[in-house]
Each structure stands twice: as structure tokens, then as C-alpha cells.
Amino acid sequence: MLEGHTGSVTTCAFSPDGELLATTGSDRTARLWRVADGTEWAVLTGHTNWPRDCAFSPDGSLLATVSRDGTLRLRHVRPGVVTVHCASAPVSAASPGIPTAP
């Protein structure tokens, strides 16, 4: 069991290589977990409302989170390092979420 979010988990996504799990929660955070041992690798903050979706890029180098605050945040994910955020942009409230690769 993963312990870290202080509220409910809203979404999750595995990295393409299966080594990381990203979760988003009602506590307004996204978290990265090492799948092999279940340890928390990073806590990502910045959204002012709960993130409603998350997805890794096909090569696993970026994590995107979209929130009910109307923003999309992109973060670089590299071994041992997560850039706090490399981009933030407004999105439509009607947006269905982040499209995932087929």
C-alpha cells in the first residue's frame, strides 16, 4: 500500500518503462513512486485545485498533470531528478483530460 496523499487518489499512470507510478490526489499534489519497492520518489506541488489527470510522455521523460484549477503542468522526469515544472498553461474547463498514447 502506498502512503503519502492526505486525501483521496484521483488518477494514476505508469511510466512507459514500468519503473514509476504517478498518482494525483485531492490534496492538490502529484506523487511519483518507485514501483519496485513502493517508496515515494517525489511530491509535486503547484496546482491550486486537485489534479484530475496525469500522463507520461511516450519516452517517459515528461509527466503532465491537468487540474481543476484550469492549468496543465509539465515536469521533466529524469533518474534522480524531477524539475519542479518546466511549463504551465491554462486549459479549458471542458477539456476531457490529457490524451494518452495509443
Domain extents in the chain: 9-89
Give the integer Cα–Cα distance in Å for 32 and 35: 9
**Mean of pLDDT over the chain:** 79
Q: What angle do CA 80, 53, 72 make, to 5 degrees?
A: 75
Give the integer Cα–Cα distance in Å for 85 and 70: 16
Domain 9-89 sits in CATH 2.40.10: yes
> In this predicted model, what pLDDT tens digit does every residue of 32-79 receive, in sequence order?
988 999 888 888 887 888 888 999 999 999 999 988 888 888 888 876
**pLDDT of residue 89 exceeding 80:** no
Give the pLDDT of residue 102: 38
Q: Give the bridge partners for 24, in sequence order.
A: 11, 30
What is the 8-class DSSP label of residue 38? -
Instruction: Decide: helix, strand or coil at residue 7.
Output: coil
Give the integer Cα–Cα distance in Å for 5 and 1: 12
Q: Does an H or E element contain 25, and which?
A: strand 20-25
91 pLDDT tier (thresholds 50, 70, 90):
low
